[in-house]
Structures are given as structure tokens and as C-alpha cells.
Amino acid sequence: MTRVSKVRVDGRARDQVTAAVRRAVSMAGDLADLVRPGMLVMVKPNLVAAPPSAEAGACTSPLVCQAVADLVSELGATPVIAESSARGADTEAVLRVMGYEELRQQGYQVVDLKKDKTVRVKIADGNVLREITTFALVTRVDAIISVPVMKTHDQGQATLSLKNLKGLVTDVEKRRIHLEGMFEGTVDLVGHFKPVFAVVDGIIGQEGMGPLMGLPVELGLVLAGRDLVAVDAVASRIMGFEAEEVPITKAAAERGLGTLDPSHIEVVGEPVAAVRRRFIRCEEDHRIDREGITIVHSEGTCTGCRNGLLSSLFDMRAEGTLGRARGFTIVAGPAAIPEGVPPERLVSIGSCGLLEARRLPRFVRGCPPNNVDIVRALSGGV
Ligand code: SF4
């Protein structure tokens, strides 16, 4: 039996967030036997890419990380808040938008992993990964605490504490994981790095076109637990998914990395039924009228191209030019070109596209491609 706690946050002020995180961690069994004096402990937020605002629900609140880091310090260990944002995204820009700079000014260690030395490590029991390039700091820490934000994901339904581990590898490896199989590859990382605890920021999450372009959801919750599979299972049920609908949770449970079986999870604090709030799925987010625009992804199409394309469509809508994109089929990343579409109605984006896609007259190179170039291609230019 494992325990997952759920605690309501009374507001967004620092003392309110701190109190909720402390209560959630304590109710879930505490960190005392996991974090010992002298340890170096990584607090790993989800800082996918620079969001439109700190309250967009796309990234973990610095106040949640701060509260976890304080708990680590009180146990005599050294916390380091560390992340490498999505492929092509500037981690420092995310840190600025989200307010992590203030934590630095207060003396907290906040590290952009993309600036760290890289290290090649073997993955002993990987399903799709045998070796991976990670960062020197990741190999030096004694424990990892995953601190994601609760949000939907255009490929994986939801992104929570397990998916958050993808930020521990380089941009090149992030892409390789997408190509090898994002779900199994991420579970390989979980099995290798063995995070010891999860604290989920559900204060403001995101629904719809997550993991970056979704709509904020003010849920006012913090979840915590030692079994990351169980924590993600409970979080996804709150979001209105069956735990098995989230492929990474399911794959991790099948590999014995935790349980998603409700009969093996003791949920303490707020009952799931009292806080459940069905999150709008990606495909249900109708802010962009995509009628007449066909988007083709594959499992290898990563966040860079997916979000770049969506934000380009948002830009076109804002400019009043979205109508120009109607009638186009957009092939993103390494996806096959659908049969029967005339070449003049095809746009392909992303340098990792298949050869036939890269030979199209309207091919937008870049990894990830630039929004301006995507908009130009969809507006009739190349
Ligand atoms: S081109 Fe796009 S899909 Fe391919 S690796 Fe780069 S960002 Fe990902």
C-alpha cells in the first residue's frame, strides 16, 4: 500500500503555498528517511518553455520548488533546483518569466542544466534506451524529487511527475527519445534515475493544448507521494482520465516502477471526488478553428514542432490571416505524408522530416522551425 496526499492551497501567497506543500509532504510520509544530512538533492520542476505568463499553468511555480527546497535544507541536505527546458527552448528565459530569478537572489541554487557538462551513462534495463547523454549534475545528486505542474499533453494525455524526468537529458536525446518511443523512453529514464518523491503543483494547471499553449486551470491543489506512478495515477483521475489512459503511467506500472491500482493506493487529504475537475483534452480545445487545416504528427514529432505549429496558428488568428492556412495539410516532424494530397496543398515543418517531406516546395526547416517561417509557408510563401 502506498500513500498519496492531496491538500488544498488557500491562496497563492508564499506562506499559503509553503503550508500546503509541507502538509502534503508530511501526510504522504515525509522526506526524513529519503533525504539525509550531507546529501545533494535535485528538485526538478517542469519548465517546458517560456509561457505567456507565470500564471499560464505551463510551468511549476517557484513557490512550490522553494517549499520543497526548504524541507530538504531542514533535513541537513543541499537542495538544487535544476531543469533543462524542451528542445530548442531557452531555460533561462523560462526561469525569468516564472520568477526563479528571485529564488537565486535569495540564495537558492537554481541551475540551467543546458549549461552543464554532459555525461554519457548506460541504461541497464532500458526497453528502448541503452545509453543516454545526461548532465554532470544529474549524475552527482543523491536523490531526485520530481515537482511537475498538473497539465494536459498533446501526445501523452497528461504530463505529471514521470514525464517530468525528460528534462534530465540533452536536447539531442530529447529528440532521440521521441524517435525511439517517447513513452517507453521516458520510463527508461524513470527506471534509471529512480526519483524518490513527487510533489505535484496543481495550484494552477493547464488544460486543452498543453503542455504549453493550453488554458490555465485554477485547481488550488498540491499532491505528494513516494510512488510516482501512484501520484500520477491519482492526479490524472482528478483531471478526469483513467490512469491507464496516460501511456507513461501505464508503461511505468507495467514495468513494476509503481502502482496505479486504486486498491493499493491510500489517498489521504481531499477525496478525489471532491476535487475532480475534468480537464479539456487537447483535441477538445477549439480556440483555433482548425476546419480545413489538417495536421499530421507522428510519435516522433516532439514539443518543439507541435507547439511551434500551434503558436503559429495562434499568430495567424491574431493577425486575421488564419483563412490562408485552410486547405493545407501540415506534416510536422518525422511523420509520413498522407496519400492523395496534392503537393501544392502540403506544408512540412521540421528538419527531422522524412526525405519526401523535406523535398516539398513548402518545407520549413529548423529544429524547431521558426514561427515566422511557418506562418510565411502557410500564407502562400516558402
Ligand atoms: S524538427 Fe521538430 S519534431 Fe524534429 S526534432 Fe526538431 S523540434 Fe522535434
Residue 265: strand pairing partners: 2
pLDDT in tens, 328-348: 999 999 999 999 999 999 999
299 pLDDT tier (thresholds 50, 70, 90): confident
Query: How many angstroms does the Cα of residue 305 sit away from the middle of ligand 1?
Result: 5
* Ligand 1 atom nearest to 368, measured from its CA: 7
CA distance 100 to 94: 8
**Whether the predicted pLDDT of 142 surpasses 70:** yes
Cis peptide before 211 (omega within 30 of 0): yes
Please give the single-letter amino acid code of residue 54: A
pLDDT in tens, 104-132: 999 999 999 999 999 999 999 899 999 99
* Ligand 1 atom nearest to 366, measured from its CA: 1
**Whether the predicted pLDDT of 322 surpasses 80:** yes
* Ligand 1 atom nearest to 88, measured from its CA: 7
Average pLDDT over residues 182-200: 96
* Ligand 1 atom nearest to 367, measured from its CA: 6
**Strand 157-159 to strand 40-45: parallel, antiparallel, or no bridges (unpaired)?**
unpaired
- Residue 224's pLDDT is 98
Statement: 2-275 belongs to CATH 3.40.50.11440: yes
Q: What is the dihedral of CA 67, 69, 70, 73, to 10 degrees?
A: 170
Query: How many angstroms does the Cα of residue 301 sit away from the middle of ligand 1?
Result: 6
pLDDT more than 70, % of the chain: 99
- Residue 93's pLDDT is 97
Cα angle: 283, vertex 344, 292; to 5 degrees: 30
307 pLDDT tier (thresholds 50, 70, 90): confident
Worst-scoring range by mean pLDDT, 126-140, 181-195, 300-314, 326-340? 300-314
Residue nearest to atom 1 of ligand 1 (CA): 350
Domain boundaries, the chain: 2-275, 288-378
102 pLDDT tier (thresholds 50, 70, 90): very high
- Residue 303's pLDDT is 77
- Residue 381's pLDDT is 59
Query: How many angstroms does the Cα of residue 68 sit away from the middle of ligand 1?
Result: 33
Query: How many angstroms does the Cα of residue 300 sit away from the middle of ligand 1?
Result: 8
Phi-psi sector, 238: left (phi>0), alpha (psi -120 to 50), beta: alpha
Pocket test for ligand 1, best of 166, 170, 182, 301 (most atoms within 8 A of CB): 301
Residue nearest to atom 6 of ligand 1 (CA): 367
pLDDT more than 90, % of the chain: 81
Worst-scoring range by mean pLDDT, 26-35, 51-60, 231-240, 373-382? 373-382
Pocket test for ligand 1, best of 173, 180, 351 (most atoms within 8 A of CB): 351
Query: pLDDT averaged over the chain?
Result: 94
* Ligand 1 atom nearest to 175, measured from its CA: 5
Query: How many angstroms does the Cα of residue 140 sit away from the middle of ligand 1?
Result: 30
Query: How many angstroms does the Cα of residue 186 sit away from the middle of ligand 1?
Result: 17
Which residues form ligand 1's pocket by a CB distance below 6 Å?
Answer: 87-88, 175, 301-302, 304-305, 333, 350-352, 367-368
